[in-house]
Amino acid sequence: MTIIQSHGHQLPEDGKKASTGAYERPVKAFMAGEEKKVRTTVLSTGETSSDKKSDATLRPESLSEYIGQSRLKTMLTMSISAARTRNEPLDHVLLYGPPGLGKTTLARVIANEMSARIHMTSGPSLERPRDIVGLVHQLEQGDVLFIDEIHRLNKVAEELLYPAIEDFVIDLTSGKGHATRTMRLPLPRFTLVGATTKAGRLSKALRDRFGFACRLEFYDLSELSLIVARTAALLSVTVDEGAVKAIASRARGTPRIANRLVRLVRDFGQFQGQNVVDEAFAIQALESYQVDAFGLDNTDRRFLEILIQHYDGGPVGIDTIAVTLGEDNETLEDVYEPFLIQAGFIQRTPRGRVATVRAYNHLGLTPTQSQQLKMDFTEVDKSSE
């Protein structure tokens, strides 16, 4: 597959070999108790530089290698095969869901399956009209145009893109005031793949222009176990079944974290001179980073503590929790909350966040009668995506 970055430089196709000693500052952290910073990155869904380095070896290249998301894969397999039979590009695809679940990976898989080139860019880097014009200018028939963080496209960029997406034309303007002229130029037929963690922020007009909108789900334990085993094999780490399960169950339903935990365990093993990782060793390694049995870290636990102990279990607004926790609310909403909700530790209600009985249990607390009543009468807000 050919990968073209937004500024038009051709990259060799993932030609770089993945690094092996990729985990950030592992040994130092084990030795010097320099934990806080490292710990907060261990379970973060955001992409770190070591994630990027190991990506080249770990990213699945085809739909058959792509684990989980079976509903979505079935749909894509059918659509791709239909498009190929008609010898047409695939319809535009929108991929949405929390970070680290495989949106970028899937965009590349789609390009691969269509034997297409992929141009990779992101919403914030298409700031000026000429960024877009320059980009679409490079498109050839059948190419995939991947726009990450598509919810961050500005209005001007969005409006310039509409005719490009809908009718494969672009309107170029020149001159100012009365002398303004618009020229409509045809574009080759291409496939736009948009990715976003915030589908709700997309304008309806933009959303409606996608042929498919696909939501990526958190991965279950068996899917994560497959991912952990695959990653361990690719990184030449020998893990037994118990270790695979211990790592998978702490990965917060997220492949990016699963891969990071495998690297962490490998590095810990190398540091300790342990060649074969078993369950006890994996748990010891992960606990040294304060990753608990559910994959919660300090910030998650503080989130739950604040909710229960400062605000009587809720409901309380995310802004208030963010201030008390000293985090910005965007990070809480994007990184921490989705998993806490999915794993059943908190619920989102129209009046704010409410702790569940699971959260009380996890912290070793028993809800009071009034807290119990609140939980029993929680009205869950399913509207916000």
Ligand X SMILES: Nc1ncnc2c1ncn2[C@@H]1O[C@H](COP(=O)(O)OP(=O)(O)O)[C@@H](O)[C@H]1O
State the catalytic residues.
Answer: 103-104, 148, 197, 256
Q: In this structure, what token pair is assigned to residue 146? A: 């991947």
> Which listed option, Mg ion, ligand X, none, makes contact with residue 66 (CB within 5 to 8 Å by class)?
ligand X
Q: Do strands 93-96 and 191-196 pair parallel, antiparallel, or not at all (unpaired)?
A: parallel
Whether the CB-CB separation of 92 and 240 falls below 8 Å is answered with: no
> Which listed option, ligand X, Mg ion, none, makes contact with residue 315 (CB within 5 to 8 Å by class)?
none
CB closer to Mg ion out of 101 and 340: 101
Calpha distance 183→164 (Å, rounded): 13
Q: In this structure, what token pair is assigned to residue 221? A: 């334990």
Task: Compute the chain's Rg from CA coordinates.
Answer: 23
Which residue lies nearest Mg ion, judged by its C-beta? 104
Site string for Mg ion, 77-106 (x = CB under 5 A): ---------------------------x--
Q: What are phi and psi of 237, to 5 degrees?
A: -105, 130
Residue ranges binding ligand X (CB under 6 A): 55, 58-60, 66-69, 99-105, 227, 255-256, 259
In the complex, the smallest distance separating the C-beta of residue 79 from ligand X, rounded to whole angstroms, is 18
**Residues from 237 through 256 that contact Mg ion (CB under 5 A):** none
Calpha distance 287→306 (Å, rounded): 23
Calpha distance 276→239 (Å, rounded): 6
Calpha distance 146→93 (Å, rounded): 10
Secondary structure letter of residue 316 according to DSSP: B
Q: In this structure, what token pair is assigned to residue 186? A: 């045809």
CB closer to Mg ion out of 69 and 104: 104
Taking the alpha carbons at both ends of the chain, their separation in whole angstroms is 33
CB closer to Mg ion out of 255 and 269: 255
Nearest to 110 by CA among 70, 79, 68, 156: 79
Q: What are phi and psi of 330, to 5 degrees?
A: -65, -45
> Which listed option, ligand X, Mg ion, none, makes contact with residue 59 (CB within 5 to 8 Å by class)?
ligand X
50 binds Mg ion (CB under 5 A): no
Calpha distance 120→233 (Å, rounded): 29
CB closer to ligand X out of 100 and 123: 100
CB closer to ligand X out of 217 and 240: 217
> Which listed option, ligand X, Mg ion, none, makes contact with residue 314 (CB within 5 to 8 Å by class)?
none
In the complex, the smallest distance separating the C-beta of residue 133 from ligand X, rounded to whole angstroms, is 26
CB closer to ligand X out of 50 and 69: 69
* Size of site (CB under 5 A) for Mg ion: 1
> Which listed option, ligand X, Mg ion, none, makes contact with residue 55 (CB within 5 to 8 Å by class)?
ligand X
> Which listed option, ligand X, Mg ion, none, makes contact with residue 245 (CB within 5 to 8 Å by class)?
none
Calpha distance 92→213 (Å, rounded): 9
In the complex, the smallest distance separating the C-beta of residue 4 from ligand X, rounded to whole angstroms, is 18
Secondary structure letter of residue 25 according to DSSP: S
Peptide linkage before 60 cis (omega within 30 of 0): no
In the complex, the smallest distance separating the C-beta of residue 195 from ligand X, rounded to whole angstroms, is 6
Calpha distance 309→80 (Å, rounded): 51
In the complex, the smallest distance separating the C-beta of residue 304 from ligand X, rounded to whole angstroms, is 25
In the complex, the smallest distance separating the C-beta of residue 195 from Mg ion, rounded to whole angstroms, is 6
> Which listed option, Mg ion, ligand X, none, makes contact with residue 100 (CB within 5 to 8 Å by class)?
ligand X
CB closer to ligand X out of 68 and 194: 68
In the complex, the smallest distance separating the C-beta of residue 126 from Mg ion, rounded to whole angstroms, is 16
Q: Which residues bind to Mg ion, rule: CB under 5 A?
A: 104
